[in-house]
Structure 1
Amino acid sequence: MTDATHTTSSTFTGARHLRTVMLIAILIFLIAAPFLFYPIFVMKILCFALFAAAFNLLLGYTGFLSFGHAAFFGGAAYFTAHAMKEWGTTPEVGILIGVAGAAALGLVIGLIAIRRQGIYFAMITLALSQMFFFYCVQSAWTHGEDGIQSVPRGHLFGLIDLNVTTNMYFFVLAVFLIGIGIIWRFVNSPFGMILKSIRENEQRTVSLGYAVDRYKLGAFVMSAALAGLAGGLKAIVFEFATLTDVAWQMSGEVILMTLLGGIGTMIGPVVGASLVVTLQNELATSDFPVTIVTGLVFMACVLLFRRGLVGEFYASRLGRRLGFRPEQ
């Protein structure tokens, strides 16, 4: 083994160990977070971070911009809230119903949307999402503009009382970690490699013999289901589901979160969601409009950090030395 090879191997091993230490530190911070900050605030960040990560699965790794992801997030919130309040289901069953409903919506919308690309794809998802929004406005079971209020948190597996804030937080944390783990496994599987090839050159992927439409539909449904997981979780945390969850502004927010953090990165959407939710929380009692501040932050990031905050860090000399890549 040459000295250069030995040095490269040592550097790679050291970077891998450092990244492992960073992940452990983040996990310890998340475990300690409810004792350091307001638990509901941290749970809101985790819910929206999972939502942004689910959206990034479609945009960052497949290259399709959806303006309709609020339908999956808000739809699952309604499905979960209705199941738990009207049917008396346990939290885990309620969330599974929400995920299944979001996946079904994703299948229907995806079958129509994947026939187009670019701005046409985005406009189709927006149009179908708005159709679902107006359905929620007029439907009796969603209670229109009032939404579904006073959703019981219930007992997890019939045993753990989620009305206890600490129990609720660690349940949200567990679901968040499971969701991120699913996305990581999905992205780093052969299926994920094909999605990246579709993003880079769809025609070449077709020429290699892959059924591209099936892969795009699979990615769309998976993204919708995981967005639904975040939506169902959010409905239990805040004990309500409203039209805000399915409005087009929610789709805009998740796009903003993903772009701020960095598309095509695992941690980027989490960072972006944390930043946006924190700004909203800090400026909630201020006379200065939250949307203006958020817009200014977005403009600054676009001008100074073209790849997003995390994307720029990965592309920096330090990020490269640590072995980070934009697509990991």
Structure 2
Amino acid sequence: MTNATMTLPHERPAARAAGLAILAVALAALCLAPFLVYPIFLMKVLCFALFAASFNLLLGYTGLLSFGHAAFFGGASYVTAYTVKVWGLPPELGLLAGVAAAALLGLAIGFLAIRRQGIYFSMITLALSQMFFFFCLQAPFTGGEDGLQGVPRGYALGFVDLSRPLAIYFFVLAVVLIGLFAIWRIVHSPFGSILKSIRENETRATSLGLSVGTYKLAAFVMSAGLAGLAGGLKALVFQFATLTDVAWQMSGEVILMTLLGGIGTIAGPLVGAALVVSLQNYLATSAFPVTVVTGLTFMVCVLLFRRGIVGEIAHRLRRRG
């Protein structure tokens, strides 16, 4: 028996304890954050963190690069905003309506896109996403270029007044944590192991008798639904839904967030989203062009952190261990 084998039972509890300690510190920081930082900014970070994590479920764990994820994010934003404003649904039902709409849209787009692989898959998702963009531009219930404005936040569970900044912050935090836990559970389930095997070698997974197309479509729909959850939350936080949410630039942003943080990691997209949103927020009033600074940041991260920020740190820690 080797030394590595002998120390493995002791290393696993230590690693698990360290992970739980980091999680506890992160949760405590998130609970204290709205008392120190502008809550709207924090909620924007949380929404995009969930969006990037949902995209990472598709790219990082299934190996599918979608250029059209803005369709699910923005589509759910419109549905949530419309159902809450026009139909008068409570916010939690509006969010569920947005998730359902995004999942159905993901089913339709995924059914067509997974028939192709590689860049062909990516371009099909982009084309279908652009078709949905023009639908949102022309549809009468979306408000066109003006979008849906004045969306009421309402009362969560019938008694939590989301018009109060702290109330909606903790509501958003709770929903995002539920979404992130769902992603973690998917990744660490037998279904997640199959997705990883498809990512590593799709041909071998097919030879083992797995219905690769079905698993890829299921991952696509789950990713779309979770992206829709993020989009619905954003509509409630900012109280509007616009064409910006369904534009192709939004798909580019979520790809950038995921790559910066590190694909194939749980925390990577969260770090990437926080970095990009922080740059956009704090450079918006400066003389520096945001896109140029973001591009330079991406170049630096590619050169110094080839696996992304979190991915590179995790890789170096494993090498030292």
Both structures adopt the same fold (TM-score exceeding 0.5): yes
Q: Distance in 2 between matches of 1:3 and 1:292?
A: 50
Indicate whether 1:208 and 2:208 are aligned. yes
The aligned counterpart of 2:236 is 236
The aligned counterpart of 2:254 is 254
The aligned counterpart of 2:153 is 153
- Whether the 8 Å CA contact 1:95–1:229 is kept in 2: the answer is yes
The aligned counterpart of 1:325 is none
Task: For residue 15 of structure 1, report the CA deviation from its aligned partner.
Answer: 2.5
Kindly provide the CA deviation profile for residues 247-270 of structure 1, in whole angstroms up to 9, marking residues without a partner as x.
000000000000000000000000
- Normalised TM-score (structure 1): 0.95
Q: Residue type matched to 1:15 in 2? A: A
The aligned counterpart of 1:268 is 268
Q: Distance in 1 between matches of 2:302 and 2:234?
A: 29
- Whether the 8 Å CA contact 1:76–1:102 is kept in 2: the answer is yes
The aligned counterpart of 1:92 is 92
The aligned counterpart of 1:219 is 219
The aligned counterpart of 1:51 is 51
Q: Sequence identity, in percent?
A: 69
Q: Residue type matched to 1:192 in 2? A: G
Kindly provide the CA deviation profile for residues 199-258 of structure 1, in whole angstroms up to 9, marking residues without a partner as x.
111111111111111000000000000000000000000000000000000000000000
Indicate whether 1:292 and 2:286 are aligned. no
Kindly provide the CA deviation profile for residues 172-224 of structure 1, in whole angstroms up to 9, marking residues without a partner as x.
00001000000011111111111111111111111111111100000000000
Q: Residue type matched to 2:118 in 1? A: G
- Normalised TM-score (structure 2): 0.97
Counterparts of 1:49-198 in structure 2 under 5 Å? 49-198=49-198
Secondary structure of 2:141's counterpart equals: coil
Task: For residue 20 of structure 1, report the CA deviation from its aligned partner.
Answer: 1.3
Secondary structure of 1:158's counterpart equals: coil
Task: For residue 91 of structure 1, report the CA deviation from its aligned partner.
Answer: 0.2
Q: Quickly say closer, same or farther: Cα 1:206–1:248, change in 2 above 3 A.
A: same
Q: Distance in 1 between matches of 2:214 and 2:161?
A: 41
Name whichever of 73-82 and 19-28 sits farther off: 19-28
Task: For residue 4 of structure 1, report the CA deviation from its aligned partner.
Answer: 6.5
Q: Residue type matched to 2:137 in 1? A: V
The aligned counterpart of 2:282 is 282
Task: For residue 8 of structure 1, report the CA deviation from its aligned partner.
Answer: 4.0
Q: Residue type matched to 2:76 in 1? A: A
Q: Distance in 1 between matches of 2:188 and 2:18?
A: 21
The aligned counterpart of 1:305 is 305
- Whether the 8 Å CA contact 1:43–1:169 is kept in 2: the answer is yes
Q: Residue type matched to 1:287 in 2? A: A
- Whether the 8 Å CA contact 1:154–1:161 is kept in 2: the answer is yes
Task: For residue 17 of structure 1, report the CA deviation from its aligned partner.
Answer: 1.4
Aligned length: 321
Q: Residue type matched to 1:110 in 2? A: G
In structure 1, stretches of 5+ residues that fail to align are: 323-328
Q: Distance in 2 between matches of 1:88 and 1:208?
A: 50
Q: Distance in 2 between matches of 1:2 and 1:222?
A: 41
Q: Distance in 2 between matches of 1:107 and 1:4?
A: 45
Q: Residue type matched to 1:31 in 2? A: C
Task: For residue 7 of structure 1, report the CA deviation from its aligned partner.
Answer: 4.1
Q: Distance in 2 between matches of 1:216 and 1:30?
A: 33
Kindly provide the CA deviation profile for residues 114-148 of structure 1, in whole angstroms up to 9, marking residues without a partner as x.
00000000000000000000011111100100000
Q: Distance in 2 between matches of 1:18 and 1:155?
A: 38
Q: Distance in 1 between matches of 2:266 and 2:307?
A: 13
Q: Distance in 1 between matches of 2:5 and 2:209?
A: 38
Q: Distance in 2 between matches of 1:2 and 1:189?
A: 29
Q: Quickly say closer, same or farther: Cα 1:267–1:111, change in 2 above 3 A.
A: same
Q: Residue type matched to 2:36 in 1? A: L
Secondary structure of 1:141's counterpart equals: helix
Task: For residue 67 of structure 1, report the CA deviation from its aligned partner.
Answer: 0.3
Counterparts of 1:24-35 in structure 2 under 5 Å? 24-35=24-35
Q: Quickly say closer, same or farther: Cα 1:157–1:320, change in 2 above 3 A.
A: farther
Q: Distance in 2 between matches of 1:119 and 1:137?
A: 27
Q: Residue type matched to 2:178 in 1? A: I
Task: For residue 18 of structure 1, report the CA deviation from its aligned partner.
Answer: 1.6
Task: For residue 278 of structure 1, report the CA deviation from its aligned partner.
Answer: 0.3
Secondary structure of 2:140's counterpart equals: coil
Task: For residue 303 of structure 1, report the CA deviation from its aligned partner.
Answer: 1.2
Secondary structure of 1:88's counterpart equals: coil
- Whether the 8 Å CA contact 1:70–1:246 is kept in 2: the answer is yes
- Whether the 8 Å CA contact 1:15–1:321 is kept in 2: the answer is no
Task: For residue 86 of structure 1, report the CA deviation from its aligned partner.
Answer: 0.4
Q: Quickly say closer, same or farther: Cα 1:293–1:88, change in 2 above 3 A.
A: same
In structure 2, stretches of 5+ residues that fail to align are: none
Name whichever of 85-94 and 3-12 sits farther off: 3-12
Name whichever of 42-51 and 155-164 sits farther off: 155-164
